[in-house]
Structure 1
Amino acid sequence: MIANGGDELQKNMQKLYDNQQLLYKKLDDASKKIEVLSISGKKRDMINDPIVLDTKRLNPVANYGIGFTPYFIPLSLWVGALILFFIVDIYDRNGYKDISNASIVIGKLASLSILGIFQSIVSGFVLIEALKLPVNNLFYYYAINALMSVVFVFIIGFFVMLLGMAGKFLAVVLLMLQLTSSGGVFPMELEPKFFNVLNPYFPMTYGTQALREAISGSNYTLIINDLLILAGFGILFMLLSILLSEKVGDTNKIDEKLSL
C-alpha cells in the first residue's frame, strides 16, 4: 500500500516537473516574440504602469508659519480688543450728564471700534511687509481683519458693560474656548465632540476660516459667507448693548464688590 502511494507521488512529481518545463518554454517563446515585435519603450512603460497619477496641489501652503497665521491673527485681535477696555472706562459719565446710557455706551464702542480697525490694519501690514506673509487677496485680508476687530470690540464691550471686571475675565474664558474650537490647529474631525458642538457658535471660527481662504485659498463664496456671519455677530451684540445699557447703572455692582 505504501509502495503504491510512493510510486503515485513520484509520477505526480514528474508531471509537475514536465509542466514547469513546458511553462518555461512557453514564456521563453513569448519573450522572443515580444523582442521580434520591437515594442517601444513607451509601450513597455504603458504595460508596466497602465495608470499614471498626475499630482496637482490645490492652494499649497509654503510653511508651518503661514498655515498658522489664520489662527493667530484672530487671537491677537481679540487680545487687542480686550486691552482697549482696560484703557477706556465705558462707565465714565463725566461730561455726559444729559446723555442716555445707550448713547454713551454706543459712542464709546464706536470709538473703540475705530481703534480696533486701526490696530487690525497695522498688524496686517506688519505681517505682510515685515514678515513677508504671502496673501492671495489683500482686499479680503484687510476687510476680514477689520470686521473681526469691530465684532470682537462689540462682544467684549457687551460683557464688560454688564459684568464689569468679571466681563473682562469672561472674555478671557471665551478666548480659551475659541482657541480650541475654531479649527485653527487641527481639523474639527480630530477634535473632541465638545469643541465640535461649540464650533458654529463662536465668531473666531468664521474669522479663521475666512482668513485661511484669503491668505492661501480662493473660495471667495466662503469668504463672503463668513463675513456675513461675522457681521451678524456684531449686529447682535450691538443691539444687545443698546437694549440693556439703560438697565446698567453708572458703575457695575460686581465691580463695586470687587473693589471692597
Structure 2
Amino acid sequence: MSDPVGLASHKAHEAPNYGTGFAPYFIPLSLWVGAMIAYMLLQPLNKRALAAGAPAWRIALAGWLPVAAIGVAQVAALMSVLHWGLGLQMARGLGTIGFLLLVAACFTAIVQFLNARFGPAGRILVLAMLMLQLTSAGGTYPIQTSPGFFNALHPFLPMSYVVEGLRHLITGGELWPVWRACLVLLAFTAGAVALTAVTARRKQVWTLDRLHPEISL
C-alpha cells in the first residue's frame, strides 16, 4: 500500500563519466577560442591584396583558408589528447572528426568576418558572441531551464547545433541532429565568407572618411 506504483527506468546512450558528458560543450569552446586567437595574430584581410585590387572573393578566401588549416591542426591535436591522453571514447569516431572539421571551418569564417568588418571592435564582438553561445547552447543544463532570453537565442547561434550534434556522435543516438547541424554550419560558413567578400570589396573603395578619419588610433 505504501508503494502502489512500480517504476521501471533505463538509460539510452549513457555517458560513462562526466568528462564524456561535458565534452560536447568544451570542444566547440576550444575551437572558437582557437579561431579567436588565430585572428589576433593574422590579418583577416590582406592589405596588400586590397590595395592591388584583387578580386574580393579571392581576398576573403586568402584570409580564411590559412586559419581554417590551423583549425584542422587544432582538431587533430585536440582529439588526439582527448582520445589517447584522456581516454575519451566516441560512438562514431570518424564522424566526430569530420564534424569537427566543419565546425572549425565555420567558426574561423565567422570570426574572420567580425574582425574584417568591425576592425578592433570585432574582437569584442567575437568574445561577446562566445559568451552568448556558452549561455544559450544548453551544454551544462537543458536549455529549457535557462531564462527566456537564452531560450530565444538558442536556435540562432551555431554552437547550439554543434553541442547537440556532438552528443549524438560521441555517446550515440539518431543522426538527424547531426545532419541538421551540418546544414546549419554550412549555411553559417557560406554566409560569413560571402559577407567577408562584400567587406573586402567595400574596403577597396576609398572614401573621404577613410582618407581623413575624424579620430586616428
What range describes the TM-score normalised by the shorter chain of this pair? Answer: 0.7 to 0.9
CA distance in 1 between counterparts of 2:17 and 2:215 reads 46
Extract unaligned runs of 5+ from structure 2: none
Aligned to 1:68: 22
Measured after TM superposition, the shift of residue 257 of structure 1 is: 8.0
Runs of 4+ with deviation above 4 angstroms: 49-54, 249-253, 256-259
Determine if contact 2:22/2:140 at 8 Å carries over to the other structure. Answer: yes
The two structures have a TM-score, normalised by structure 1, of 0.74
Q: 1:257 to 1:60 in 2, by over 3 A?
A: farther
Q: Percent identity?
A: 31
Q: 1:95 to 1:245 in 2, by over 3 A?
A: closer
Q: Which amino acid aligns with 1:195?
A: F
Aligned to 2:128: 173
CA distance in 2 between counterparts of 1:145 and 1:258 reads 41
Select the structure with the greater relative contact order (CA < 8 A; seq sep ≥ 6): 2
Aligned to 2:190: 235
Counterpart mapping for 1:194-205 below 5 A: 194-205=149-160
Determine if contact 1:154/1:237 at 8 Å carries over to the other structure. Answer: yes
Q: Which amino acid aligns with 2:122?
A: G
The two structures have a TM-score, normalised by structure 2, of 0.87
Aligned to 1:150: 105
Measured after TM superposition, the shift of residue 236 of structure 1 is: 1.3
Aligned to 2:139: 184
Aligned to 1:103: 58
Match of 1:88 among 42, 61, 72: 42
CA distance in 2 between counterparts of 1:177 and 1:51 reads 43
Measured after TM superposition, the shift of residue 208 of structure 1 is: 0.5
Counterpart mapping for 1:1-260 below 5 A: 54-94=8-48, 97-249=52-204, 260=217
Aligned to 1:218, what secondary structure does the other structure show? coil
Q: Which structure: larger Rg?
A: 1
- Calculate the aligned-residue CA RMSD, in Å: 2.5
CA distance in 1 between counterparts of 2:166 and 2:110 reads 20
